[in-house]
Amino acid sequence: MKPVLAWVKANPMVVMFAALILIVLPVAYVMSSGWNKKIRTTQETAANAELGKIEKMRVNYTLPALQPGVEAVAYNGAPNAAMTAWFKENKDRFKGQADEVVRRAELFNKGSGGDAAAVGRKEHKPLVDGMFPDAGSALDDKLNEMEDALLGQRGWPNPYQELLKAVRAGGPADQVRIAEIIKDMELRESEKITTVKRELTAEEQKVMAKMLADRRMAEYKVQAKSISVYADISSLPAGEDDGVRIPIGKIPDPRMIEPLQFFLYQWDYWVLSDMFAVVRLANTTPEGRLTDVESSVVKRIEKVSIADPEGLFKSDVPGRGHDAMGEPVVPAAAVPGMVPLDPTLSITGRGMGTWNTVYDLRRAKIVAVVSSARLQDFLGAIAKTNFMTVIDLDLSEVDVWEDMRMGYFYGPEHVVRATVTVESVWLRSWMAPLMPKKLADLLGVPPPPEAAAAGQG
């Protein structure tokens, strides 16, 4: 023990520092643990605060769906340069594609561009330039010019006869002329046989009857070969029961010589031109040649009728999208962002009201004699020609012998009478700028943005 004490006394500094080390280590451990906890708590608080800021800055990235039934692409997360660039690039690409579809749809609807030309349509343009929507100080001159254009007067071709010419339409064989040909042939052949000295025998009469029937049939075939479809001006909506009436010969009432009525005449003409474009498409070969009646899908147009624009006049009958007071019932939109549809209206569900600012509707009915085996070609031509949908179809028998008696020869194919109701869509993106204000107000077409801004000012 004494040596140890002697060493301690001899080395006081070593002992002191050794003791200090033994004391400091646990104290330092305790103190460092406290400091570590405090630092950790401080840093965690600061980190959580920063994280909270980041959480508050979360971004909703979305690529909208461009068609019904397709879900939008969405992501919610913190801002990310790569993510932002990807969504922007694809959003711009989608928008470009959507804008191109809208542009082509508008061009196609108005009959412009390659898609419309591919089905044989021409652009829907006013018959008289400067007539619509407002002729201004030149109104009187434009009204007179439009009247002449509609009636085919003073050097203007008749627009409705031009529609018939475009499908190579014509009437049946001329019965009066054929009767004269048959009578002359019968007289000549009879004189050859009898030398005007006796009556024809029963056998000779039988041969003569067949010869005359063959000649009559030959005349029918000649006429059928010269045209593509039987139709004339009487096939167009000019009667009391045809809905709207096209002007033939004169404007029925001088009070109808005004911009609203003339625009409706113009619109009716465009509807008719699309209906005749359907017939032309159905009767055109893959090489682009119009067929003759025997080879045609549509062999005869008996009647085309057109209804007023949907929603132009309020209905006082409950149903068909209106309540008991005649006010439109607003359907619920099945797809957000799309025009609401009402299945009670028709198989398409399309209707007109304040909820539809995208398009207007026209309905037309065509009664035609068509090849029963190729009826689908006719219906397919309707869908290809424009934004048109068959909403009703009725088929009935055709008395081909009675029709032949009147000069209509359809060839050897079996035919049916098809009564087809067609609903057509007219996009307001190109139609509204042409509408007279009075018509736009009746249809509930909102004013263009610049006009609305001026009104608010």
For 117-170, give the DSSP string.
HHTT------SSTT-SS--GGGHHHHHHHHHHHHHT-TTPPPHHHHHHHHTTEE
**Are the CB atoms for 152 and 161 separated by under 8 Å?**
yes
Same-domain pairing of 69 and 162: no
Same-domain pairing of 28 and 155: no
Same-domain pairing of 52 and 77: no
Same-domain pairing of 286 and 423: yes
Kindly give, in sequence order, each residue whose CB lies less than 8 Å from that of residue 352, ignoring residues fewer than 6 positions away.
Answer: 310, 311, 321, 328, 360, 361, 443, 444
Does residue 309 lie in a domain region?
yes
- In this prediction, residue 81 carries a pLDDT of 80
Residue 256 gets which letter from DSSP? G
Closest CA to 265 of 433, 443, 143: 143
Q: Give the separation between CA 387 and CA 365, rounded to whole angstroms.
A: 15
Does residue 122 lie in a domain region?
no
Same-domain pairing of 38 and 72: no
Residue 58 φ/ψ region, left for φ over 0, alpha for ψ in the -120 to 50 degree band, beta for the rest = beta
Closest CA to 227 of 282, 173, 286: 173
Does residue 268 lie in a domain region?
yes
- In this prediction, residue 52 carries a pLDDT of 64
- Residue reference for tokens 């219906």: 379
- In this prediction, residue 9 carries a pLDDT of 67
Closest CA to 143 of 308, 266, 246, 238: 266
Q: Give the separation between CA 442 and CA 40, rounded to whole angstroms.
A: 73
Same-domain pairing of 32 and 147: no
Does residue 159 lie in a domain region?
yes
Number of structural domains found in the chain = 3
In the chain, the amino acid numbered 114 is G
SS3 state of residue 283? coil
Same-domain pairing of 66 and 142: no
SS3 state of residue 109? helix
Low-confidence spans in the chain with pLDDT less than 50: 315-320, 451-457
Which residue range(s) make up the domain with 7? 2-56
Does residue 18 lie in a domain region?
yes
User: In the beta sheet, which residues pair with residue 61?
Assistant: 75
Same-domain pairing of 325 and 434: yes
Does residue 32 lie in a domain region?
yes
Same-domain pairing of 299 and 402: yes
Same-domain pairing of 398 and 252: yes
Same-domain pairing of 233 and 93: no
Same-domain pairing of 143 and 40: no
